Chain A
Amino acid sequence: MARVTVETVDHVARLAHLSLTDEERRTFARQLDEILAYAESIQSLDTAAVPPMSHALTSEVLREDAPAPGLDQRTVLEAAPDPAEGLFRVPRVLGG
């Protein structure tokens, strides 16, 4: 089975855009290792011929692609921490 180390947690935290403290890294590594050891029970089942279930709903959910009014730009931007000139402002991405 997979063993969760602090390095695994670091890798996954990068993927998930989480900056963790040293204590969080160590605690999560230990706890996730325990949780995955528990989850190991499902590895013993023969699932070769079993289809995966992604969703409980089997009915048709597609609709007509009809345009309809949504929220206006001003209303949406009011919720943002740093809106500017009709845009979401974020720290610099390019250059320095």
Chain B
Amino acid sequence: MSLAGLTAAEVARRVTSREVSAEEVARACLDRIAERDRVLDAFLTLMPERALESARRIDRDLAAGGPAPPLAGVPVAVKDVLDVEGVPTTCGSRILEGYRPPFTSTAIVKLEQAGAVVVGKTNMDEFAMGSSTENSAFKPTRNPWDRQRVPGGSSGGSAAAVAAGMTPVALGTDTGGSIRQPAALCGVVGLKPTYGRVSRYGLVAFASSLDQIGPFTRTVEDAALVSSVLCGWDPRDATSANVPVPDFTRDAESSVAGVRVGVPWAFLEKGVDPGVMSRFREAMEALAGAGAIVVDVALPHAHHAIATYYIVATAEASSNLARYDGVRYGLRAPGTSDLRGMYGQTRDHGFGAEVKRRIILGTFVLSSGYYDAYYLRAQKVRTLIRRDYESAFDVCDVVATPTTPTPAFRLGEKTADPLEMYLADIFTVPANLAGVPGLSLPCGMADGLPAALQLVGRPFDEATLFRVGAAFQRATTHHQLTPPAGGA
């Protein structure tokens, strides 16, 4: 097997024992990217010099007898919404043209301090708004399992990079499912941690009460390893939570015996693809076979989640995106003679259709006369959705559903109908509204495409998600499937 196909845990073990150098691993990944990304378009920016320099530094430190960092030499791809000092951050948008941030995000600083090697920035739906990566201002990313299909979104580039073996780890962000849904569609593992678990310093904001950073990996063990580094309080982010972070890799080794897995069967009755539903039922049997107790739970307000989400998230986005005005950074439309005209022209040229649509919707639901009926009411329904989870967690330890109702859809299939695209997120959005953590992992194939299982846990209880997810991967082989090398 090429070094590019190794898990993060295996890379760190081999680099630490000096069986291979971090530089060799980085070169293998850069070679794999050169080979595969011509057809997949997962990356927007590559940073080969910076990556090789970091890798050589790790090799030198290990050669000098320095301590072995937990992610020694592990190549990482980063969604292009996270800042790396001096490297363009585009957010998949034209409005940030020319912007090079003067600081590095805490998430990336922590990974690099733990020995990770950042190789590039990945493609995404503009400002993380979308479920297919087709809203990138630059190019669509292709699904490694079938190039005529989307990788999901908004973190589609990161999911495709890990699925195609270009890096063992990638970072994404998840506001309504933007890590879990592309992880599901590309057949890899994706974690949205609890709201507040990971510092967002240096993350470009979309919807601030929902956004969270998390990892893509091929195994649950790797997700646990990376999360142990990524999570934790940061004084630079007022919304980061000061809650202790355990060594999640230990939880990934624990038995699942006695863990109660709740399934909201009534919520799954309509709209789920039969193949996806079969894989989900088999996954519940596999967990029961491993010793978990599968119980029925109710999420009576979950079917209101999409309506609630598209009011709350667009309201927050319309406020957050007000900062792109052509004054302080990024694009400015040329040739305008007055300030209002400069704002309007800059924003019209710089933003794509989906971003404008959400700014308009968000501004509308916050506007005088509509605030109470839409925004305030959505905030109240959000409380009901959170209470659904609180009640469910009285009788179970994790809530299980499919991650998405269908496998990957075709490029262009949903672009003409925004509402249909939004409905693809029905199973992921509730966890963001409630602020609880969610893990997506592959659970087999449906019509030749990956299907996925989602596990949602109590606030700050990622440990149980890793415990159940790793037990599932010990009992099954779905995560060992890889897409065809040439792309289908």
Assess whether B376 is in contact with A79, with CB atoms less than 8 Å apart: no
Question: Within 8 Å CB of A32, what residues of B?
Answer: 357, 360-361, 364
The verdict on A34 contacting chain B, using a C-beta distance below 8 Å, is yes
The smallest C-beta distance from A25 to any residue of chain B, in angstroms, reads 10
B485 within 8 A of A: no
Chain A 24-50 near chain B by CB (<8 Å), digits 1 or 0: 100110011011101111110101001
For the complex, what is the distance from the CA of A20 to the CA of B310, rounded to whole Å?
A: 21
Contact of B330 with A by CB under 8 A: yes
A80–B326 Cα distance when bound, in Å, is 8
Contact A39 B310 (CB under 8 A): yes
**A65 on the interface (CB 8 Å rule)?**
no
Answer yes or no: A84 CB below 8 A from chain B CBs. Answer: no
Given A17-B340, A81-B326, A90-B327: A53 in contact with B345 (beta carbons within 8 A) = no
Q: How far is the CA of A20 from the CA of B418 in the complex (A)?
A: 18
Contacts of A43 in B (CB 8 A): 373, 377
Cβ contact within 8 Å between B195 and A57: yes
Smallest CB-CB separation from B99: which chain A residue? A79
Annotate B355-388 by CB proximity to A: 1 below 8 A, 0 otherwise.
0110111011001001001101111111110100
Q: How many residues of B contact A (CB 8 A)?
A: 74
Is the beta-carbon distance between B209 and A19 smaller than 8 angstroms?
Answer: no
- Inter-chain CA distance A93–B336, complex, in Å, is 12
Residues of A within 8 A of B325 (CB): 17
Fill in one digit per residue for B62-102: 1 if any A CB lies within 8 Å of its CB, else 0: 00000000000000000000000000000000000011111
When the two chains form their complex, are residues A18 and B344 in contact, meaning their CB atoms are under 8 A apart?
Answer: yes
With contacts A12-B364, A24-B353, A61-B238 taken as known, whether A82 is within 8 angstroms of B332 at the C-beta atoms is yes
Chain A contact-residue range equals: 35 or more
Q: In the complex, are the beta carbons of A2 and B377 less than 8 A apart?
A: no
Q: How far is the CB of A81 from chain B (nearest CB, A)?
A: 4
**Once the chains bind, are B377 and A42 in contact (CB under 8 Å)?**
yes
Contacting residues, chain A, for B343 (C-beta < 8 A): 17
A24 / chain B contacts, CB cutoff of 8 Å: 353, 356
Interface centre among B306, B382, B422 (most CB of A within 10 A): B382
CA distance A57 to B442 in the complex (A): 30
**Contacting B347 at CB < 8 Å: which of A8, A19, A51, A93?**
A19
- Please indicate the chain B residues that have their CB under 8 angstroms from the CB of A92 in the complex: 337-339
Q: Which residues of A contact B330 (CB under 8 A)?
A: 79, 81
Q: Determine the residue in chain B with the shortest Cβ distance to A24.
A: B356
CB–CB A41/B239 < 8 A: no
B304 touches A45 (CB 8 A): yes
Among A15, A17, A63, A91, point to the contact of B367 (Cβ < 8 A). Answer: A15
The answer to whether A12 touches B363 (Cβ under 8 A) is yes
Decide if B360 touches A56 in the complex (CB within 8 Å).
Answer: no
Q: How far is the CA of A59 from the CA of B311 in the complex (A)?
A: 25
Q: Is the CB of A90 within 8 A of B342?
A: yes
Chain A CB within 8 A of B137 CB: no
A50 touches B384 (CB 8 A): yes
Residues from chain A with a CB closer than 8 A to the CB of B363 are: 12, 15-16
Contact status of A56 and B196, CB under 8 A, knowing A43-B373, A90-B339: yes
Residues of A within 8 A of B273 (CB): none
**Are B382 and A53 in contact (CB-based, < 8 A)?**
yes
B235 at the interface (CB under 8 A from A): yes
- Tell me if B380 and A47 are in contact (CB < 8 A): yes
New A-B contacts (5) at CB < 8 Å, excluding given A17-B340, A45-B377, A57-B241: A24-B356, A36-B361, A45-B301, A53-B386, A63-B235
**25 cross-chain CB contacts under 8 A:** A15-B363, A16-B359, A16-B363, A17-B340, A17-B344, A36-B361, A38-B307, A41-B303, A41-B307, A42-B308, A43-B373, A45-B377, A45-B384, A47-B384, A51-B380, A52-B380, A53-B382, A53-B386, A57-B435, A59-B196, A59-B241, A71-B103, A79-B99, A82-B332, A91-B336
